[in-house]
Amino acid sequence: MQSFRTELELIEHSTKALVEKDIIDLDKKIREFREGKIHEEKFRSLRLARGVYGQRQQGVQMIRIKLPFGKVSAKQLLRVADISDEYSNGNLHLTTRQDIQIHHVSLDRTPELWAKLEQDDITIREACGNTVRNITASPESGIDPNEPFDVSPYANALFSYFLRKPFGQELGRKIKIAFSNNDKDTAFTYIHDFGFIPKLNENNERGFKVLVGGGLGAQPFLAQTAYEFLPENKLIPFVEASIRVFDRYGERASRHKARIKYLINKIGIAEFLKLTIEEEKAVLYKTVEIDTDTIISIPVLKNKLPKVTPVINEKKYDQWLNTNTFEQKQQGYYGVYVKILLGNISSDRTRKFVDVIKKYADASDIRLTINQGFLLKQVWIEELPFLFAELSELELATSGFDSVGDITACPGTDTCNLAISNSTNISAELEKVIYAEFPDLIHNHDIKIKISGCMNSCGQHGLAQIGFHGSSFKVGTNVVPALQVLLGGGTKGNGKGRIAEKVIKVASKRAPDVLRKLFNDFEKGAVEGEYFNSYYDRKGKDHFYQLLKPIGDNSNLNADEYFDWGSEEKFKTEIGVGECAGVIIDLFKPCFLKQMKNWHGVPKLSITISLVTVSIIVMHHLFTRQKVCY
C-alpha cells in the first residue's frame, strides 16, 4: 500500500494534467450548454464547482479565486490584477473567506481566465458549489507570539488533500473549515462546519480542539466540541470520515436543511462521532503526518541602503502603529495590517501596493484577512515609518484596522441575486460617521460591525456586536429598503461564541442614526471598562428595542427613504434565483407564509390547490431564472 506522502507526490506530479483536463472540460461543457445539450441546473452545478458563480446582472459571472488560508504572493496578486483588467472591471474584492472575487466576467471566457491564473498556481476549483470550500485560518499564523504553533501547514494539508476528491464534488451542501491560531479564535471556528484550535498536551505534543456543526445563515448554529484534543496526525482521517458520514446521512430532499449543523442537531453530537469512528475504519489512511515545513515565513533582510527620513504626520503615524501593527515572535519584525474599505481595491492600486510590499515585507507570503484586508509580514522595525509614508501616498494607511471603524460587508445588491438591500454604500456611510463623530472608537477592538445584504450572513452579521442585514417593508403600496438590526454577537474565545439577536428593523437611510444612538447610549450608560456585550446583557434586549423604537417608526418617512443607498431609482424588492443550494426553499418559504395568512377557515382542498400553485410558481422561476419579487 502506498503511503500518504507518496500519494501527495503523485498528485503533485499529475496536477498539471488534471488542471488542463479541468479547463478543457469546462470549455466543452460551456459549448454544450450554449447548444442546449446540458440542462441549466446540471451545468450550474458543474460551473459552481469550478468557481464560476452567477450574478444579479444577467449574462455575466463572478469568479471566485481560492486562496488557501488567505496566502498569496506578490506575483500571484499581480496576476489577479492583470486578470481583472483583461476579463473584468479592474476591481479585486477581498472576501470574509480569504478569497478574491472578480465580477462581470463573460461565461465563455472563464476557461481562458482560469488557464492564465494557473500559470501562477492559482485555482478556482471548488471555490463555490457543494464542495469543500476555501479553508480559512488566522492570518497571523506563523508570526503570532501567542500561538502554540503555526497552523498554516495544517490548513494547507487539508486543502491539498480534499481538492478534487471524488466524494467531495456533489455533497448535500458546502463544507466550511477554519483554523484559529490560538484561543482568541480570530478565525471564528465556532460558526464553521469544522473548526480547529491548536493545543499542546501534557507531553508537549501537537493537536487540536475540534469544533463541528457551526454555521450562520438564516438559522445560525454554534459549533459543538467534538474533541478537546485530537492528535495532529488524526486531523485528516477525522475530517474525511466526517465528510463521508455527512454525505451518507445528511439531508438531500430538503436542501435548506442539508448542512452538517442540521444533521448534528437531528442525531446529536455523540451519535455523529460514533458514526465517524465507524467510518474511519474504511478510510485509507488511519493517521497522516503533516509536513510542517511546507509554509515557512521568510524574514526580510534589513534594507541597508541610506534613505531620507520621510516627512510624516506623527500623530497619524502613532495612531497607525497602535491600531495596525504588532510585534512578531520573530524578534525585530512587525506584522502590519492594511485596511481595505469594503474589501475593494483597484488593479492599478494593487500594482502600486505590490511595489511597496516588495520593498518592506515578505513578498512571498501576504495574507488576506478575514475582515477583508491584508496582513504584511516580516517588516523590519526601523522600516515602519518608511512603509507608513508609502502606504499613505496610496491612501492605504488608514488607522483602526479590525476596530469599530473597520466594517465588514458582503457585495449585497451590487452583484448578488439574493441580496435585498444595499450593504456596501451604507457601510461607507457608517464608517464616515464613526471617524468623524466618534474618532476615539477606532481604538476599540471589542465592538465589531458587520453587514450582509440579506439574512444569509455572507457579511457575518450574526457574529457581530452590532450587525445589520438587508430587508424591506411596505408602507401602503410602496416598498422601503430596510436593515434588520442585530446586537450582542461575538467571540468568547476557545471555540465559544454568541449569536446576535434581532432587535428592530429600520429604514436603511436611518442606519447612521442607529449607530449614533447606540454609541451615545453605551458611552453614557456603561461602567468603566465594561464591554459592549456585557452592557447589552446587563440592560437587556428590550432596553435597546425601546432605545431604537423611535428610529423604527415608519409613520414619518421622508421621500429620500424610499431610495436605497447609492441608488437613484425608487426601491423595489428584487430577489433573483441565487446560486446557493437551498435557494428554492428560501423562495418557497415567504410565498408559503404569505398564503397562510389567509388560510383560517379555508377548506383543505383549497389549501392544497394553493400549495400546488405556489410550488409551480417557484419551480417556474427556478428554471427560467426570472427574478422573484415578494
Q: In which band, very low, low, confident or very high, does the pLDDT at 533 lie, cut at 50, 70 and 90?
A: very high
Q: How many CB atoms are located within 10 Å of the residue 592 CB?
A: 15
Q: Rounded to an integer, what distance in angstroms lies between the CA atom of residue 486 and that of residue 477?
A: 27
Q: How many CB atoms are located within 10 Å of the residue 519 CB?
A: 20
Domain with 97, as residue range(s), is 4-66+87-118
Q: pTM for the complete prediction? A: 0.89
Same-domain check for residues 110 and 168? no
Alpha helices in 229-294 (DSSP H): 235-249, 260-267, 269-280
Same-domain check for residues 258 and 337? no
Maximum average pLDDT range among 114-118, 570-574, 624-628: 114-118
Higher-pLDDT residue of 295 and 61 is 61
pLDDT digits (tens, 9 = 90+) for 575-587: 655 565 443 333 3
Q: What is the pLDDT of residue 14?
A: 66
Specify the range with the lowest mean pLDDT, choosing from 75-84, 190-199, 569-578: 569-578
Count: domains in the chain: 5
Helix, strand, coil percent values for the chain (each to nearest 5) = 45, 20, 40
Task: For residue 391, give the nearest of 313, 301, 303, 332 by alpha carbon.
Answer: 313
Q: What is the pLDDT of residue 9?
A: 57
pLDDT digits (tens, 9 = 90+) for 347-377: 999 999 999 999 999 999 999 999 999 999 9
Same-domain check for residues 538 and 603? no
Same-domain check for residues 152 and 181? yes
Indicate whether 340 belongs to any domain: yes
Specify the range with the lowest mean pLDDT, choosing from 326-330, 475-479, 494-498, 610-614: 610-614
- Contact (CB, 8 A) for 332 and 380: yes
- Contact (CB, 8 A) for 171 and 130: yes
Q: How many CB atoms are located within 10 Å of the residue 7 CB?
A: 14
Whether the predicted pLDDT of 449 surpasses 50: yes
Q: In which band, very low, low, confident or very high, does the pLDDT at 160 lie, cut at 50, 70 and 90?
A: very high
Q: Rounded to an integer, what distance in angstroms lies between the CA atom of residue 72 and that of residue 134?
A: 13
Q: What is the pLDDT of residue 630?
A: 24
Q: What is the pLDDT of residue 304?
A: 58
The rounded mean pLDDT for the chain is 89
Q: What is the pLDDT of residue 391?
A: 98
Same-domain check for residues 413 and 537? yes
Whether the predicted pLDDT of 207 surpasses 50: yes
Query: What percent of the chain shows pLDDT beyond 70?
Result: 88
Indicate whether 285 belongs to any domain: no
Q: What is the pLDDT of residue 6?
A: 57
Same-domain check for residues 159 and 234? yes
Q: What's the average model confidence in pLDDT over 169-178? A: 95
Same-domain check for residues 60 and 91? yes
Indicate whether 576 belongs to any domain: no
Indicate whether 138 belongs to any domain: no
Q: What's the average model confidence in pLDDT over 338-343? A: 96
Three-state DSSP class for residue 168:
helix
Same-domain check for residues 415 and 549? yes
Specify the range with the lowest mean pLDDT, choosing from 36-50, 362-376, 429-443, 605-619: 605-619
Whether the predicted pLDDT of 12 surpasses 60: no
Q: Rounded to an integer, what distance in angstroms lies between the CA atom of residue 618 and that of residue 586?
A: 10
- Contact (CB, 8 A) for 499 and 220: yes
- Contact (CB, 8 A) for 141 and 184: no
φ, ψ for residue 132, nearest 5 deg: -80, 110
Q: What is the pLDDT of residue 299?
A: 73
Give the domain CATH number at 329. Answer: 3.30.70.3340
Same-domain check for residues 551 and 418? yes
> Cell 515545513 belongs to which residue?
293
Indicate whether 9 belongs to any domain: yes
pLDDT digits (tens, 9 = 90+) for 228-268: 999 999 999 999 999 999 999 999 888 789 999 999 999 99
pLDDT digits (tens, 9 = 90+) for 478-530: 999 999 999 999 999 999 999 999 999 999 999 999 999 999 999 999 999 99
Same-domain check for residues 432 and 367? no
Q: What is the pLDDT of residue 619?
A: 42
Give the domain CATH number at 227. Answer: 3.30.413.10
Query: What percent of the chain shows pLDDT beyond 90?
Result: 80
Q: In which band, very low, low, confident or very high, does the pLDDT at 223 lie, cut at 50, 70 and 90?
A: very high
Q: What is the pLDDT of residue 15?
A: 77
Indicate whether 488 belongs to any domain: yes
Q: In which band, very low, low, confident or very high, does the pLDDT at 615 lie, cut at 50, 70 and 90?
A: very low
Whether the predicted pLDDT of 602 surpasses 60: no
Task: For residue 106, give the nearest of 60, 64, 62 by alpha carbon.
Answer: 60
Same-domain check for residues 550 and 606? no
pLDDT digits (tens, 9 = 90+) for 380-407: 999 999 999 999 999 999 999 999 999 9
The sign of the CA dihedral 129, 232, 154, 291 is: negative
- Contact (CB, 8 A) for 569 and 625: no
Q: Which of 361, 393, 425 is the last residue of a domain?
A: 393
Q: Which of 359, 393, 427 is the last residue of a domain?
A: 393
Q: What's the average model confidence in pLDDT over 459-468? A: 96
Q: What is the pLDDT of residue 588?
A: 39
Indicate whether 111 belongs to any domain: yes
Letter for the amino acid at 77?
L
Q: Rounded to an integer, what distance in angstroms lies between the CA atom of residue 540 and that of residue 535?
A: 8
Q: Which of 79, 101, 118 is the last residue of a domain?
A: 118
Q: What's the average model confidence in pLDDT over 116-128? A: 97
Give the three cell numbers for residue 180: 484559529
H or E element, residue 479 = strand 478-487
Same-domain check for residues 552 and 590? no
Indicate whether 309 belongs to any domain: no
Give the three cell numbers for residue 627: 427574478
Q: How many CA atoms lie within 13 A of 316 on its CB side?
A: 13
